[in-house]
């Protein structure tokens, strides 16, 4: 069970949103590269970046901060990024910069064939990010909730070569209300692609609950507000996860 610190970028700063609302952002650092180095020193084996401005604009908007983060830790651990990735040229630019994986979200919903093309062009480097509210997938920085059910959509990517699916429960994201274990397991059992949980991770009980379902196909969990506000000590949480899954 790999725990993955999140660094959400807005105007070059490290922030956390509540339920994806840009107007409800808490700034945790104006030096994202230093924050990335901090999590690496705490034992992070992977980092999760989100270009929040890019997610709403549909194109990269925090390139300088992303470049600095990759300079700081990119040679040590894999870094993945989502937000504003809508074409193959953007993926190529990011991978050349040093990103290990790119996360396709809105574009995967609007144009599933794009995922297939990306996997063919950049094999081994594509993750699909599906953010859902009451089981329905949201797009455009969570501004629009579609009629697509997360499980039905996920099944479309099974044969494309996607590394994993990041499943975010919007209702719990940034709310410190616990991971939606039931919905995450339901998705993981429905597809052959490993699922990474996101949204609501609050305390060590959540870590224990996730480890208990690791054999269902839940491969990891992204954590944000909990490690920034201190309800979870990241190093302690990863050690606990390692001890529970031998």
Task: Return d(Cα 187, Cα 150) in angstroms, integer.
Answer: 8
How confident is the model at residue 173, as a pLDDT?
A: 53
How confident is the model at residue 37, as a pLDDT?
A: 98
Give, for 90, the enclosing helix (H) or strand (E): helix 88-97
Q: Do residues 61 and 85 touch, judged by C-beta distance below 8 A?
A: no
Residue 212's alpha-carbon distances to 160, 196, 235, in angstroms, are 29, 14, 19
Looking at the 3D structure of the chain, how many domains does it have? 1
pLDDT band per the 50, 70, 90 thresholds, residue 172: low
Task: Return d(Cα 20, Cα 18) in angstroms, integer.
Answer: 5
Q: Do residues 109 and 143 touch, judged by C-beta distance below 8 A?
A: no
Q: Which residue has the tokens 């990119």?
A: 74
Express each pLDDT in 81-99 by its tens digit. 999 999 999 999 999 999 9
Express each pLDDT in 145-168 by its tens digit. 889 999 999 999 999 999 999 998
Q: Is the pLDDT at 106 greater than 90, yes or no?
A: no
How confident is the model at residue 19, as a pLDDT?
A: 63
Express each pLDDT in 25-60 by its tens digit. 788 889 999 999 999 999 999 999 999 999 888 899
- What are the catalytic residues? 8, 131
Count of other CB atoms within 10 angstroms of residue 175? 15
% pLDDT > 90, the chain: 76
Q: Which residue has the tokens 């009629």?
A: 147
The parent domain of residue 153 ranges over 2-244
**What CATH number does residue 137 fall under?**
3.20.20.70
How confident is the model at residue 234, as a pLDDT?
A: 98
What is this structure's pTM?
0.93
């Amino acid at each position: 069970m790999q725990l993955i610190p999140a660094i959400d970028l807005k105007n070059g700063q490290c922030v956390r949103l509540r339920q994806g609302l840009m107007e409800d952002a808490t700034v945790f650092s104006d030096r994202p590269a230093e924050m990335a180095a901090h999590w690496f020193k705490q034992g992070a084996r992977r980092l999760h970046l989100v270009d929040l401005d890019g997610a709403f604009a549909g194109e990269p908007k925090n390139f300088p901060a992303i470049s600095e983060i990759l300079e700081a830790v990119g040679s040590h651990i894999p870094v993945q990024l989502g937000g504003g990735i809508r074409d193959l040229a953007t993926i190529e630019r990011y991978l050349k910069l040093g990103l290990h994986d790119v996360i396709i979200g809105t574009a995967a919903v609007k144009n599933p064939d794009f995922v297939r093309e990306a996997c063919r062009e950049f094999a081994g480097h594509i993750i699909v990010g599906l953010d859902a509210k009451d089981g329905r997938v949201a797009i455009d920085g969570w501004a629009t909730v579609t009629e697509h059910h997360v499980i039905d959509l996920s099944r479309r990517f099974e044969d494309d070569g996607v590394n994993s699916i990041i499943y975010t429960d919007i209702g719990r994201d940034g709310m410190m209300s616990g991971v939606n274990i039931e919905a995450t397991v339901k998705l993981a059992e429905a597809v052959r692609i490993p699922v990474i949980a996101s949204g609501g991770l609050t305390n060590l009980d959540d870590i224990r609950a996730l480890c208990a379902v690791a054999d269902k196909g839940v491969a990891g969990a992204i954590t944000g507000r909990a490690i920034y506000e201190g309800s979870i000590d990241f190093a302690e949480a990863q050690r606990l996860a390692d001890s529970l899954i031998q």
